[in-house]
Homo-oligomer: A and B are copies of this chain.
Amino acid sequence: MTELLRLFTRAHKLLRAASDEAMSAHGVRIGQNLVLEVLWQTDGLTPGELAGRLQVSTPTVVNTATRMEAAGLLVRRRDPADGRLVRLHLTDKAREAQGPVEAARRRLAEHATATLTEDERRHLRSALEKIIERMGSWPAQGADRGTD
């Protein structure tokens, strides 16, 4: 039964490594991809907003943003109306990476599930959704953040 957890860990590690490797070719590391996916849709969010959408802690977003800034993927701008806020804006470089990065991820997902039938993929997706849903009711988990 707990072997399911092990399988999960193993599969995730492989997928993560492959994903990182695939995106690195386009100047994007795996942790930055989450941020990009949101900012490609909605530019100029704050670290806190991003953290909420990504279900990640704010320091994680801040640190990732710092690395992305160093990598020339985004710039920080102080919100003129509220001096506490910082708005993250993508650079052209980041926008140009969208196509290639999304394509790379699509290829990866297809490769990983190549030996699954369409039906199996649907089942997998469904099972993952159920698990995610279910884990919201884990004692120490659902308590605070996560309002998206």
Residues of A within 8 A of B (CB): 1-5, 7-19, 21, 34, 55, 102, 105-106, 108-116, 120-121, 123-136, 138, 140-141
Assess the A110–B1 pair: CB atoms within 8 A. yes
A140 touching B21, Cβ below 8 Å:
yes
Which residues on B sit within 8 Å (CB–CB) of A130? Answer: 113, 115-116, 120
Say which residue of B1, B106, B133 sits within 8 Å of A106 (CB atoms): B1
5 closest A-B pairs by beta carbon, nearest first, are A14-B135, A7-B128, A12-B12, A124-B127, A2-B105
Residues of B within 8 Å of A34, CB to CB, are 9
CB-defined contacts of A136 to chain B, threshold 8 Å: 14
CA distance A18 to B137 in the complex (A): 11
Query: Which residues on B sit within 8 Å (CB–CB) of A4?
Result: 109, 113, 121, 124-125, 128
CA distance A3 to B125 in the complex (A): 9
Minimum CB–CB distance for A122 against chain B, Å:
10
CA distance A5 to B121 in the complex (A): 12
